[in-house]
């Protein structure tokens, strides 16, 4: 994913060219890409997503077409849940979502 992120046309997204990215965005993307567990950065008011290699297993067939797209475009069937979760995060609450052994979310 590092190479894919590096070669992606970010200028065509609301994030703009990587040369214009803030130090914070560059740092968090670097951390995300270095993780061995599924991780995704949702950035900006549009929640543009940048994800690591392990997250491709979460996306399955949606990868690679969802890099640089909004989280709502990727998961339209979960828009209400995502908005609720993001609202909690933006209010300062820590939120963890994970799959249990049976595949349900907790």
When divided into structural domains, the chain yields a total of: 2
Residues 53 and 63 in one domain: yes
How is residue 29 written in tokens? 């993307």
**Report field, pTM of the whole predicted structure over 0.75:** yes
* Contact indicator for 76, 69 with CB cutoff of 8 Å: no
Residue 92 belongs to domain spanning: 75-106
The gap between the terminal CA atoms of the chain, to the nearest Å, is 28
Residues 45 and 89 in one domain: no
**The three-state (H, E, C) secondary structure of the chain, written as one string:** CHHHHHHCCHHHCCCCCHHHCCHHHHHHHHHHHHCCCCCEEEECCCCEEEECCCCHHHHHHHCCCCCCCEHHHHCHHHHHHHHHHHHHHHCCCCCCCCECCCCCEC
Residues 55 and 28 in one domain: yes
Residues 7 and 47 in one domain: yes
Residues 25 and 70 in one domain: yes
31-46 pLDDT per residue, tens: 999 999 999 999 998 9
Residues 68 and 91 in one domain: no
56-86 pLDDT per residue, tens: 999 999 999 999 999 999 999 999 999 999 9
Residues 48 and 98 in one domain: no
Residues 81 and 70 in one domain: no
């Amino acid at each position: 994913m590092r190479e894919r992120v590096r070669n992606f046309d970010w200028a065509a997204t609301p994030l703009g060219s990587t040369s214009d990215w803030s130090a914070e965005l560059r740092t968090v993307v670097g951390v995300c890409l270095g993780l061995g567990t599924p991780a995704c950065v949702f950035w900006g008011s549009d929640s543009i997503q940048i994800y690591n290699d392990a997250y491709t297993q979460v996306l399955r067939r949606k990868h690679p077409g969802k890099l640089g797209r909004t989280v709502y475009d990727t998961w339209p069937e979960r828009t209400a849940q995502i908005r609720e979760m993001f609202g909690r995060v933006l209010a300062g609450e820590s939120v963890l979502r994970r799959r249990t052994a049976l595949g349900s979310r907790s």
